[in-house]
Amino acid sequence: MYARLNHIILKTSVEGPGVRTALWFQGCSHRCDGCFAKHTWEKDKGFSKKVSEIIGLILSQETRGITISGGEPFDQFDQLYDIIHGVKEKKDIIVFTGYEYHELLKKDKRCSELLENIDLLIDGRFIQIEKEAKRPFVGSKNQNFRFLSERISEKELFEQKNCVEIRINQSGKITINGMFPAEEFKKEML
């Protein structure tokens, strides 16, 4: 089975507590107004990778956990299910979704079982008029932190401030991941 991905970062320290692997799924059914990740919406963009290879990559890294985002990870439910079950014993798991928790429980019978294997679910669609940059990792006030296990604590999550990593590859391509508070950015630019 193959997953459609937008991006993988093998080691990052801005996508959750500790050093993590970050994985962005390609394709999103929500298409929220004002989304900063519109490049992840189209299902036919990005690249395909075998789920077994993704699991192998994640497990080969000396990292605390994995952060899964998108696009919309739950739009590729079978692939998400297999990845989470393939790494759950060795890594803590954060998943971002535009679906709300109650929607996921209604979406698929296996969703409630899958949620039992996610340590932190950050749920809710991005709503532009509720945009915020004060809490780490979320873009709008309506989005929720659902601590589904004790592997990630609220205290350690909120000790982390929004920040970015800038990477320059060998060919000179620049990529940025993470979140930088807009208010702070404006201050720095003045």
Measured between alpha carbons, how far is 51 from 78 in angstroms, rounded to an integer? 10
The per-residue DSSP string of 143-169 comes to -EEEE-SSSS-HHHHHHSPP-EEEEE-
Tens-digit pLDDT profile for residues 75-102? 999 999 999 999 999 999 999 999 999 9
Measured between alpha carbons, how far is 81 from 25 in angstroms, rounded to an integer? 13
Q: What is the pTM of this model?
A: 0.86
Tens-digit pLDDT profile for residues 13-61? 888 899 999 999 999 988 877 777 777 778 999 999 999 999 999 999 9
Domain residue ranges in the chain: 2-161
Contact between residue 115 and residue 121 where contact means Cβ atoms under 8 Å apart = yes
CATH 3.20.20.70 fits 2-161, yes or no: yes
Residue 122 has pLDDT above 90, yes or no: yes
Measured between alpha carbons, how far is 8 from 154 in angstroms, rounded to an integer? 25
Q: What is the DSSP letter of 81?
A: H
Measured between alpha carbons, how far is 91 from 94 in angstroms, rounded to an integer? 10
CA distances from 63 to 11, 15, 53, 100, 128 (A): 7, 12, 17, 28, 33
Contact between residue 3 and residue 48 where contact means Cβ atoms under 8 Å apart = yes
